[in-house]
Copies of this chain bind each other. A is one copy, B any other.
Amino acid sequence: MADLATQTVDSDLNLSHAFPEAFRWMVLARTFEDKIASIYRSGKIVGGVYVGRGQEAFSVALTSPLRPGHDVYSPLIRDMAGRAAFGEPLLEAARSYMGSALSASIGRDGNVHRGNPKEGIPTMISHLGAMISVVAGMLLARRLKGTLGDAVGATCIGDGATSTGAVHEALNMASVEKLPLILAIANNQFAYSTPTSSQFACADLVDRASAYGIEGISVDGTDLADCLRGFAEATRRARSGGGPQIVVGKLLRLAGHGEHDDATYVPETMRCSEIGQDCLLKARQHMLTEGWASEADCADIEKQATLAVEKAIATAGSEETPDPYAHDWNALSSEAFRNQEDAP
């Protein structure tokens, strides 16, 4: 159960509504990424494919209490579930992987490097830790403009990224400015092949909270209910002026670092432990147990997901790919400076 450092959980959370809703997005994310992985293996996607298998519960729970269009959300590489729940159209995701000319970046960037800054979703760069200060800046700007209201900004990093200086600077800045920032730390036990023992020496990453005078919550990342409760509480605190929050999820990456990686370095014992449980199977079981869905309902959810994914991929795959000759090769937006720095 969510181990809340300073307060007890918000009992108001209506799990019977939030849980099935979140479960649907988890199914969609898993279905989509399984499909993308299989297209990758068939050689039809160039570049990397990184999936959120095993972290769907943690990912979706972060966005579950968020309000699209009102809050800020900066997803990372394993956040297909959170993205979908926050309203990212499936077609947008498919276009990014398939390199469609209609993708948000016109094929300039691919796979997980997609966002919609105007809608409060910054577009990630690869350098780990670099997005947190961006979210802080978005919140600061809203406060300066008087438009912040009770909006929050949520973002995620992995256990490995906690070692970057960027994370420290951003968390410290957010806490000095007491910004409503929620940082989800997905401790999936590995950064690529590197185990947490080579990454940090504190007992639990939630111990980082006290370094910033902020609040921290630990959740069981394999358990959707626990994740939902933890993030609901963190979001409530942030919305009500409690300043930055960190939520640490313990879980296991149930895939390679990328789909090129067979992850043989993950010990069998770990795979078989509590932490290695599949959050999706657990959530499905919970749906059945609580009576929120029957076997048939679940099968239907899965089927709907498959249909949606197939449609999105088919559409994206049939779209034009970017045409280098017609492409706008300008890195500057200012009219005055365009077409000035063409490669000599």
Give residues in A with beta carbon < 8 Å to B: 162-169, 172-173, 175-176, 178, 197-203, 207-208, 210-214, 243
Contact = CB atoms under 8 A, between A and B. Distances in A.
20 contacts: A163-B169, A164-B165, A165-B165, A165-B168, A165-B169, A167-B168, A168-B169, A172-B200, A172-B201, A175-B200, A175-B202, A176-B199, A176-B201, A178-B201, A201-B213, A201-B214, A202-B211, A202-B212, A203-B213, A207-B211
Contacts of A212: 200-202
A167 B201 CA distance: 15
Given A176-B199, A202-B212, 19 more contacts: A162-B172, A163-B169, A165-B165, A165-B166, A165-B169, A167-B168, A176-B197, A176-B201, A200-B212, A201-B212, A201-B213, A201-B214, A201-B243, A202-B210, A203-B213, A207-B211, A208-B211, A210-B210, A210-B211
Contacts of A165: 164-169
> Which 9 residue pairs across A and B have the least CB separation, nearest first?
A165-B165, A168-B168, A211-B211, A175-B201, A202-B213, A201-B213, A208-B211, A165-B169, A207-B210
A178 B208 CA distance: 18
Contacts of A169: 163-165, 168
B201 A207 contact: no
A185 to B, nearest CB: 12
A336 to B, nearest CB: 32
Nearest to A174: B201
Identify which of A176, A178, A243 gathers the most chain B CB atoms within 10 Å of its CB. Answer: A176
A326 B7 CA distance: 70
